[in-house]
Amino acid sequence: MYALPMQGRFIFITGGVLSSLGKGVIAASISSIIESMGLSVSIIKLDPYLNVDPGTMSPYQHGEVYVTDDGAETDLDLGHYERYTHALISKKSNTTAGQILDHVLQSERKGDYLGSTVQVIPHVTDEIKRRIFLAQNNKADVTVIEVGGTVGDIESLPFLEAIRQMRYEHPQHCCNIHLTYVPYLKSSGETKTKPAQHSLVALRQVGIIPDIVICRSEHPICADSLKKISLFGNVPIHAVLDQPDVEHALFEVPIRLQEHKIDLLISNVLKLSPPNQSNVTVWKNLLEKSIHLKEEVLIGVVGKYLEHKDAYKSVFEALQHAGLSQNLKVKLIEVNAELLEQNMTIPEADAYIIMGGFGQRGFEGKILLAKHAREHKIPCFGICLGLQVMTVEFARHVLDIKDANSTEMEPKTKNPVVLSLEELKNVTQLGGTMRLGSYPCNLKEGTKAFDIYKNELIHERHRHRYEVNQSYVESLEKGGLLVSGKHPATNLTEIVEIQDHPWYLGVQFHPEFKSKSFAPHPLFVSFIQAAKEAQKEALQTRVMPV
Ligand code: GLN
């Protein structure tokens, strides 16, 4: 059994009825409210699927893979945690059933269980609890634990059992919050509570009675429906919170939760005496600003997973953060890279962003877009694969190396301008083998990159297998594609830019992971400013008399 840190408190957030209710944003918002009360917070996401991590999953399955500083490939909800709080997010902040079973089986092989029969209870549930305590790290005043999936899923059972045990073992230290769904039936014009009732019954069947129920819905829920949920759920009516879809921005979530006095509800359950009252001013200010935006910029997003809203989550967030900082609405226009290959006209935009990705599909479409933006001097931002696209395009059309390519797309190319990272050449295993996490990067003075960061040394997060071939760097630079950022020890190309262009810059890393609404990333801010400039110029040329 694990020693419980005396001041440690645990808030478990489970979900009912269906996924995609915004449990991650709720967990992040609650964490932000608790932080504002002067308490330290740690957050962990428990994912009941069997993959060791989401790194090997398709973006269509699971949305974006979020990368931490210490190189973990994790669930995208960790992005919300980092964007809403100051909590330290690391490998310890996401664990899956795959990792837990792997650990238990390896321990069994080592003989750690001293001849006992290895079972879900206690061995798997103990390992789940150990990981929760690891995330708490003997430090955090409050640890928020989000459980992926919904109650009733077979694979969630060991996680719910571990939570039940923790409450049984430390009743004063645990608070259970259940997020459920209350659909609105258009035909009868009313909200229906039956699915929520069922999810509360499912939770009760595994021995958990929540302290707080948050009801997600498209419309406000009437008092009678909330009363029903309270009665069926064994939860006092003041702890059944109505959380309809937000009108303007996700910043509204912490504001609404505070209006519902979730801070007091949690403090009562956990017997907390926080130093401060909760404060959501930061969110109120951002919301106020976002409601009153008048001007907008149009950003063409060039990718191939565009139909999956979550596949580029952090980039979309970072663009919005930067827009807000410049008092601009950012309107996105989807540019499907595969359709570009089939001669689709490139939609007009003030600026383009070429997204990261893997594999040949859509690569040539991205090349066409990069050429268009370069030749027409339209601001263009390449992220990870985007940098590689910009480099191959430049080699083909400026240096006239017609068959220049990346070995990811054409393994036998005679001109591998982008090729596999040396250290990964003989790696065959797929999961967790990329260049992952935070690496330093030296910036060259006098470049746009330096001008933006105003620093010689920066640190950014990575997730890639390929790099710019260093033997082409001299020719690329002579031709006008400057390497303005390099990894200090290996000289690996981290940033490329064209100086004779209003804004044409590619990065091998993922700056989007470090952008927060209250601290937008400088690269995105500069990019949005360039988009606005380009818009103004285009307008001027249009109205100028011929
Ligand atoms: N496929 C490229 C690589 O592995 C780019 C990866 C990315 O965009 N995240 O290097």
- Cβ atoms of residues 487 and 440 within 8 Å: yes
Which numbered atom of ligand 1 lies nearest the CA of 418? 10
CATH classification at residue 366? 3.40.50.880
- Residue 249 shares a structural domain with residue 340: no
Q: Supply φ then ψ for residue 50, to 5 degrees.
A: -90, -10
- Residue 316 shares a structural domain with residue 239: no
Binning pLDDT at 50, 70 and 90, where does residue 542 land? confident
pLDDT reading at 133 higher than 60: yes
Residues 6+ apart with CB under 8 A from 221: 182, 191, 215, 242, 244
C-beta of 384 in contact with ligand 1 (< 6 A): yes
- What is the predicted pLDDT for the residue at 433? 83
- What is the predicted pLDDT for the residue at 430? 82
Asked if the structure places residue 240 within a domain, the reply is: yes
Which numbered atom of ligand 1 lies nearest the CA of 434? 4
- Residue 86 shares a structural domain with residue 159: yes
- What is the predicted pLDDT for the residue at 266? 97
Asked if the structure places residue 546 within a domain, the reply is: no
- Residue 273 shares a structural domain with residue 364: no
**Coil, strand or helix: which one is 139?**
coil
C-beta of 357 in contact with ligand 1 (< 6 A): yes
- Cβ atoms of residues 96 and 158 within 8 Å: no
C-alpha pair distances (Å), 156 with each of 21, 49, 111, 337, 497 = 17, 8, 27, 38, 47
- Residue 274 shares a structural domain with residue 299: no
- Select from 287, 322, 350 the last residue of a domain: 287
**Coil, strand or helix: which one is 383?**
strand
Asked if the structure places residue 544 within a domain, the reply is: no
Query: What's the mean pLDDT in 189-208?
Result: 94
- Residue 207 shares a structural domain with residue 106: yes
**Coil, strand or helix: which one is 367?**
helix
Contacts of 197-201 spanning 24+ positions with Cβ under 8 A: 197/228, 197/229, 197/232, 197/233, 198/16, 198/17, 199/16, 199/17, 199/150, 199/151, 199/152, 200/16, 200/229, 200/232, 200/233, 200/234, 200/235, 201/232
- Residue 423 shares a structural domain with residue 309: yes
Q: What is the pLDDT of residues 488-497, one digit of tens each?
A: 999 999 999 9
Asked if the structure places residue 195 within a domain, the reply is: yes
Q: Angle 157-169/125-136 helices, nearest 10 degrees?
A: 70
CA distance 225 to 299: 43
CA distance 287 to 426: 50
C-beta of 358 in contact with ligand 1 (< 6 A): yes
Nearest to 21 by CA among 214, 203, 176, 175: 214
Active site residues: 384, 510, 512
**Coil, strand or helix: which one is 121?**
helix
- Residue 282 shares a structural domain with residue 408: no
Total domain count for the chain? Answer: 2
Q: What is the pLDDT of residues 278-299, one digit of tens each?
A: 999 999 999 999 999 999 999 9
Task: Record the tokens describing residue 128, joined without a space.
Answer: 């789940």
Question: How many angstroms does the Cα of residue 97 sit away from the middle of ligand 1?
Answer: 27
Question: How many angstroms does the Cα of residue 357 sit away from the middle of ligand 1?
Answer: 5
C-beta of 464 in contact with ligand 1 (< 6 A): yes
Question: How many angstroms does the Cα of residue 509 sit away from the middle of ligand 1?
Answer: 9
- Select from 287, 308, 332 the last residue of a domain: 287
Asked if the structure places residue 2 within a domain, the reply is: no
Q: Which domain holds residue 440?
A: 294-539
Residue burial 225-256, b: 16+ Cβ < 10 Å; e: rest: bbebbbebbebeeebbbbbbeeeebbbbbbbb
- Residue 488 shares a structural domain with residue 534: yes
Binning pLDDT at 50, 70 and 90, where does residue 3 land? low
Asked if the structure places residue 103 within a domain, the reply is: yes
C-beta of 385 in contact with ligand 1 (< 6 A): yes
Q: What is the pLDDT of residues 344-369, one digit of tens each?
A: 899 999 999 999 999 999 999 999 99
Query: What's the mean pLDDT in 196-215?
Result: 96
Instruction: List beta partners, residue 10.
Output: 143, 174
Question: How many angstroms does the Cα of residue 160 sit away from the middle of ligand 1?
Answer: 36
The alpha carbon dihedral of 263, 268, 269, 274 has a sign of: positive
- Select from 254, 269, 287 the last residue of a domain: 287
- Residue 225 shares a structural domain with residue 360: no
- Residue 150 shares a structural domain with residue 49: yes
Q: 375: burial class by Cβ within 10 Å (0-12, 13-18, 19+)?
A: exposed
Which numbered atom of ligand 1 lies nearest the CA of 359? 1
- What is the predicted pLDDT for the residue at 541? 83
**Among protein residues, the one whose CA lies closest to atom 1 of ligand 1:** 358
pLDDT reading at 6 higher than 70: no
Binning pLDDT at 50, 70 and 90, where does residue 546 land? low
Question: How many angstroms does the Cα of residue 466 sit away from the middle of ligand 1?
Answer: 6
Asked if the structure places residue 401 within a domain, the reply is: yes
CATH classification at residue 281? 3.40.50.300
- What is the predicted pLDDT for the residue at 544? 64
Asked if the structure places residue 429 within a domain, the reply is: yes
Residue type at 461 in one-letter notation: R
- Residue 244 shares a structural domain with residue 382: no
Cis? peptide before 122, omega within 30° of 0:
yes
Least confident stretch, 250-254, 392-396, 464-468: 250-254
CB neighbours (10 Å) of residue 292? Answer: 8
- What is the predicted pLDDT for the residue at 91? 95
Residue predicted with more confidence, 343 or 169: 169
Q: What is the pLDDT of residues 40-69, one digit of tens each?
A: 999 999 999 999 988 888 888 888 999 999
C-beta of 159 in contact with ligand 1 (< 6 A): no
CA distance 230 to 209: 11
C-beta of 466 in contact with ligand 1 (< 6 A): yes
- Cβ atoms of residues 329 and 360 within 8 Å: no
Which numbered atom of ligand 1 lies nearest the CA of 421? 10
